[in-house]
Chain A
Amino acid sequence: MNFLNKVKTIFSGGTKEEESASNVPSVPASLEENKVENIKDESKQEETVSSVSAVENEGAIIEPPSREEHQETPVLRKVIQAPAIESNVFPESPDVLIKAQPSPSGDQCLFRVNRDLLKGHSWYFSGFESAAGSPLAEGLFGLGDVETVLVHESTFTLTREDKTLVDWKPLAIEVGKKVREILNEGGALLSEKILAEMPSEEEIRSGIQNAIDVEVNPGVAGHGGNITLLSVKGNTVTVQMGGGCQGCSAADLTLKQGIHTTFRKFVPQVGAIYDETDHAAGLNPFFQGELNA
């Protein structure tokens, strides 16, 4: 713009914007196109934002998918037990074969013999006096350091007086020699009086059920536990521990020091007492004792 035009504009009332616009240098055509495209993009973004805000304004808010909708609920099945089939640990042999199997804690040792010792029944010898008239038990107590003897079918279980010793091998070898000697003699192994005075299964069942109802269950109820009599076979009793007792770390102690003692007090002729509780089953059974009780 030349000087004369400037003067004309000032005196004709022209605006500063017009003046500044007139001062803008000329822009190349390519840059101008880019600018136009950028403006178009900005306008698109504005359109998107405005569309979302429009939906929000209508009240239809899009929520993220919930996790529950996409997760399959696992089917909770009941775990059942099948009867275990025990394989014979002995080969066919005319000789007396004996195997010793100490418990993991070393408090007792199970001996398996390839002969029947007391068919159909079990018997618990609480000490040397109780072994009178039973050569097998007398011989075992005579070895010294044997506290109790439990004979069941073709097995017998020993506990020892010295609880500090967990290595059973020296005593087990002596036990093997003594039992083999008695079996080779061929005489009676246990007193005839034991089987002659054996009560019927029904008498044992009612006596044990009475012990459970009167003394055992009221005792364990304080811990949310309960004991159920599963079966009586001969004079062998099988129980199941439920409620707070199932999975409890003290279940073994409760069974051996509490339940065994009470059962033998109520029914002195009771033999082996087994616990068929699956202490690992269920959903954290001990800590949810109230739910399982």
Chain B
Amino acid sequence: MPKLNRFKVKIETGDSGMEGPVNFCINNHKVPLEDCVGSTAEGQSFEGGFEVNSFAHSLTLVGPEKGNWDIKKVTVDFEPDAIAPYSASFGQVMLDETTELNIWKDPPQPMFDV
């Protein structure tokens, strides 16, 4: 698992929005996202990020404190240390006060043309 310098997350909300700050959990520490732009209301887009500068063993998006949050799509841009940046996209999912979404993805294996 490489050292993660920074990550950005873009969330497209579906039919059910969420109120309140967007939190994520890194290595079981709950932290609010920074540099937030947009909204998590119904049909809106939200962007945030965080300067991690550490090793991420787990990375999750925390569900709302109350109610449901229908997420249409999540795109995470990872900026690891020493290897090229990469992205991961996840499809539709419903979060609530008892759930959090795994948004970690290992760097892709090297690929070459033949």
Residues of chain A whose beta carbon lies under 8 Å from any beta carbon of chain B? 75, 77-85, 87, 89, 97-104, 111-112, 169, 172-173, 175-177, 278, 280-281
- Closest-CB distance, A105 to chain B (whole angstroms): 11
Q: Which chain B residues in 86-105 approach chain A with CB under 8 Å?
A: 87-93, 95, 97-102, 105
- Closest-CB distance, B83 to chain A (whole angstroms): 14
Interface segment among B2-10, B39-47, B106-114: the answer is B106-114
Residues on B with C-beta less than 8 A from A278 are 102
- Asked whether, in the complex, the Cβ of B113 is within 8 Å of the Cβ of A99, the reply is yes
Residues on B with C-beta less than 8 A from A100 are 111-114
Contact of B88 among A75, A80, A84, A99 (CB under 8 A): A84
Asked if B22 is an interface residue, CB under 8 A from chain A, the answer is no
- Asked whether, in the complex, the Cβ of A77 is within 8 Å of the Cβ of B102, the reply is no
Asked if B54 is an interface residue, CB under 8 A from chain A, the answer is no
- Asked whether, in the complex, the Cβ of B105 is within 8 Å of the Cβ of A101, the reply is no
Closest residue of chain B to A112 (Cβ to Cβ) is: B111
Residues on A with C-beta less than 8 A from B100 are 77-80
Residues of chain B whose beta carbon lies under 8 Å from any beta carbon of chain A? 57-58, 60, 62-63, 71, 73-74, 87-93, 95, 97-102, 105, 109-114
- Asked whether, in the complex, the Cβ of A98 is within 8 Å of the Cβ of B62, the reply is no
- Closest-CB distance, A257 to chain B (whole angstroms): 22
A143–B109 alpha-carbon span in the complex (Å):
25
Q: Which of B91, B95, B111 has the most CB of A within 10 A?
A: B111
Closest residue of chain B to A179 (Cβ to Cβ) is: B114
Residues on B with C-beta less than 8 A from A79 are 58, 60, 99-102
- Asked whether, in the complex, the Cβ of A85 is within 8 Å of the Cβ of B91, the reply is yes
Residues on A with C-beta less than 8 A from B97 are 75
A89–B112 alpha-carbon span in the complex (Å):
11
Residues on A with C-beta less than 8 A from B62 are 77
Residues on B with C-beta less than 8 A from A80 are 93, 95, 99-102
Residues on A with C-beta less than 8 A from B73 are 85
- Closest-CB distance, A72 to chain B (whole angstroms): 11
Residues on A with C-beta less than 8 A from B58 are 79, 280
- Closest-CB distance, B32 to chain A (whole angstroms): 16
- Asked whether, in the complex, the Cβ of B90 is within 8 Å of the Cβ of A83, the reply is yes
Q: From known contacts A79-B60, A84-B88, A104-B109, infer whether A111 and B114 are also in contact, taking CB-CB under 8 Å.
A: yes
A99–B111 alpha-carbon span in the complex (Å):
6
Q: From known contacts A82-B101, A89-B111, A101-B111, infer whether A77 and B90 are also in contact, taking CB-CB under 8 Å.
A: no
Q: From known contacts A98-B113, A280-B58, infer whether A78 and B98 are also in contact, taking CB-CB under 8 Å.
A: yes
8 contacts between A and B (CB under 8 A): A80-B93, A80-B95, A80-B101, A82-B92, A82-B93, A84-B89, A85-B91, A99-B113
Contact of A87 among B57, B89, B95 (CB under 8 A): B89
Q: Which 9 A-B pairs have the closest CB atoms?
A: A176-B114, A82-B90, A82-B93, A85-B89, A83-B91, A101-B111, A77-B100, A172-B114, A100-B114
